[in-house]
Chains A and B, each alone.
Chain A
Amino acid sequence: MKNPPLSGEETEDLAETTDRKFRKELSAGITSLALLSVLNNTEEPMYGYQIAKLMEEGDERQTVPLIKHGALYPVLRSLEGNGLLASRVEPSVSGPPRRYYRITGNGRETLKRWVDIWIRTCRLIDRILGGVPND
């Protein structure tokens, strides 16, 4: 390290900012993949909050999810715009009408290809990370 040493608080701040930036960059690509996959695995069409809940399942301890709920809605709409998802609006007993999303045939095809890309990316990263010792 050639930089001047940082105080404890500064290091913490810096770590937090870089972590957040890294998380944001990571989540950008995987949100679409995760949404397609969640909707591919469910029989019933689902609305935004249900999808967000389902993505968190089995990850109860994590208070800050990697994919922020707010990021889901624009992505859902853009996936629908590209014909990978279809939706319908249904009135709800309480509150505003809800938009239920389901995956389309085109979406399933795309998901297959994306999963393939994802697996290859994972292998690459795993191979590279394999050289980094865990501490």
Chain B
Amino acid sequence: MIKLIEDYLNAFREELKGSDRATVQDALSDAEDHLSTALDIELSEHPDESSEEAAKNIISKYGDPEEVAEHYRKVEKYTTPAFSGEIRKRKGLAAFFGIISDPSAWAALLYMIFSLATGIIYFTWAVTGFSLSASLLVLIIGVPLAWLFFLSFRGLAFVEGRIVEALLGARMPRRAIFIRKGDGWWGSIKGIFSTGSTWSSFIYLILMLPLGVLYFSVFITLVSVSLALIADPIFELVLDIPLFDFPGVWWTPVWLMPFVVIAGACLFISTLHLAKLTGKLQGKLARAMLVSG
């Protein structure tokens, strides 16, 4: 990486300060990718040109850091994540029941249910990769293996980021971090291990197993209990199944049934609220651990 481009990227990073972390990561990757591609092509087309001269020309065409940063900020306003918008503010009971028409709560609930599966996959992959490469580090083959695994952790982190943005509405990077070329193999190995976000992504992947198990059990329990309460009259009057079978058979008195149904509905609505809240926290966690900006 030649100095002019390095300087430009630093100035650009400075200009982007205060923008969303994920936007910063995207913008810097775009710039670095474009500038280095352009420099390579320019130099191969005009071999007599000095790399300084070519870089200067390419940078001036890319635009002042200030100008480009402003473009990113402007476009960012139009491309917010699908579920991040505030829906109509309601008050009191309407706010409580209104969540049923809030797609973000349903999406968060979906994320909580999925997180068991994704959590298991992330955990298995991360632990296998880490222990395999750590134990092989005594042999020289451990180094490239560790590098490949950590590269895949970054990939998984990117995928998880996309899921988080789609279902939880937290702004996450829209392009994956890439390995800078021209640093040589040792440079790229060092690069991946010295980046803080590689390690925090790794921890996040591990953490997703306990979190996934917790989310899944809590939400599946809440959803099934509330559905069972709502369907109580059908179970008891049509299918002849009591509400409780343990520690003793218990039939709901008919006068109580409407209240049981209402309690089930309220529990379900509360579950949606809880899912939305948990989704917000999970989104914050993902932004803190998976974004490098």
Which residues on A are within 8 Å of B, measured CB to CB?
Answer: 24, 28, 48-49, 52, 56, 63-65, 68-71, 73-75, 77-78, 81, 94-97, 99
Contact = CB atoms under 8 A, between A and B. Distances in A.
Main secondary structure of the interface of B (DSSP, over half): helix
19 contacts: A24-B70, A48-B30, A52-B61, A68-B63, A68-B67, A68-B68, A70-B62, A71-B63, A71-B71, A74-B75, A75-B75, A77-B75, A77-B174, A95-B33, A95-B36, A95-B40, A95-B178, A96-B33, A97-B176
Contacts of A97: 176, 178
Contacts of B72: 74
Contact of A77 (B40, B67, B79): B79
Given A95-B33, A96-B33, A74 B76 contact: yes
Given A68-B62, A70-B31, A78 B75 contact: yes
B89 interface: no
Contacts of B179: 96
Interface string B51-87: 0000001001111000110111011101100000000
Contacts of A49: 34, 37-38, 41
A83 to B, nearest CB: 12
Contacts of B30: 48, 70, 73-74
B39 to A, nearest CB: 10
B181 interface: yes
B54 to A, nearest CB: 13
B230 interface: no
Nearest to A28: B74
Interface in B137-187: 174-176, 178-179, 181
Contact of B71 (A52, A64, A74, A81): A74
Contacts of A73: 27, 30, 34
A81 B79 contact: yes
Given A48-B30, A78-B75, 18 more contacts: A24-B70, A48-B33, A48-B34, A63-B57, A64-B61, A68-B62, A69-B38, A70-B34, A70-B62, A73-B27, A74-B71, A78-B79, A81-B78, A94-B40, A95-B36, A95-B40, A96-B29, A99-B175
A65 B59 CA distance: 11
B67 A24 contact: yes
Nearest to B31: A70
A95 B78 contact: no
A52 B74 CA distance: 20
Given A94-B40, A95-B178, A97-B178, A69 B71 contact: no
A81 B71 CA distance: 16
B79 A70 contact: no
A95 B79 contact: no
A98 to B, nearest CB: 8
Contacts of A71: 63, 67-68, 71
Please list the 9 inter-chain residue pairs (A to B) with the smallest Cβ-Cβ separation, ordered nearest first.
A96-B178, A68-B63, A70-B68, A74-B75, A70-B63, A73-B30, A71-B71, A70-B62, A81-B79
A78 B34 contact: no
A97 to B, nearest CB: 7
B62 A69 contact: yes
Contacts of A24: 67, 70
A68 B34 CA distance: 12
A95 B79 CA distance: 27
Contacts of B75: 74-75, 77-78
B68 A95 contact: no
Contacts of A75: 71, 75
A74 B37 contact: no
Nearest to B68: A70
Contact of A64 (B60, B79, B174): B60
Of A28, A48, A65, A77, chain B has the most CB atoms within 10 Å of the CB of A77
B65 to A, nearest CB: 8
